[in-house]
Amino acid sequence: MAARTARDDDDLDDLAEINVTPFIDVMLVLLIVFMIAAPLATVDIGVDLPGSNATPTSRDEPVPQVALLADRSLTLDAEPVGREDLAARLLARGGDPGGLRVDVQADRNVGYGEVMDLMNLLRDAGFTRLALVARDTRGEP
């Protein structure tokens, strides 16, 4: 078994060349990981929304009440309505849809995304004055 103790000049030439391919691979993998992880880090913020103790405003005109129930069904003024018929029934009330205020109620067990889907449905139909209705907690401890 022979051991090599001296260096040749040829060995230095081989070591002077740096292979950057593994470095680039690692950097691309890290970039992808951070691009995926960054949006997920902002979603998991726990929010404890308070109840509303604001004084209700008086209404001069009747306001349509759209409710999203726990079973994900919709009602318009306490009458069941399908998603595809909701906008048409609201438009049948007449007037400018952008000027008509619509109150949106949602069961507390309904997810935030489903409430946003309902609001987007109403917004796509031209209703831009949407109000979220909360339970009155002014007399509760």
Give me the DSSP letters along 25-40. Answer: HHHHHHHHHHHHHHHH
Task: Report whether 101 contacts 63 (CB < 8 A).
Answer: yes
What are the backbone angles phi and psi of residue 103, rounded to the nearest 5°? -85, 130
What pLDDT was estimated at residue 96?
Answer: 77
Residue 75 pLDDT > 90, yes or no?
Answer: no
Q: pLDDT band at residue 5, thresholds of 50, 70 and 90?
A: low
Does the predicted model carry a pTM greater than 0.75?
Answer: no
What pLDDT was estimated at residue 30?
Answer: 94
Which is it for strands 74-76 and 65-68: parallel, antiparallel or unpaired?
antiparallel
Q: Please tell me the distance from the alpha carbon of residue 71 to that of residue 43, in angstroms, as a whole number.
A: 25
CA angle 73, 76, 79 (to 5 degrees): 80
Q: Please tell me the distance from the alpha carbon of residue 56 to that of residue 52, in angstroms, as a whole number.
A: 10
Of all residues in the chain, the percent with pLDDT exceeding 70 is 67
**Per-range mean pLDDT, top range of 54-63, 74-83, 96-105:** 74-83
Q: Please tell me the distance from the alpha carbon of residue 51 to that of residue 105, in angstroms, as a whole number.
A: 14
Domain 65-132 indexed as CATH 3.40.50.300: no
**Model pLDDT for residues 18-61, shown as the tens digit of each residue:** 788 889 999 999 999 988 888 776 644 443 444 566 666 666 67
What pLDDT was estimated at residue 111?
Answer: 87
Q: Where are the domains of the chain?
A: 14-43, 65-132
What pLDDT was estimated at residue 3?
Answer: 55
Q: pLDDT band at residue 104, thresholds of 50, 70 and 90?
A: confident
Which is it for strands 101-106 and 65-68: parallel, antiparallel or unpaired?
parallel
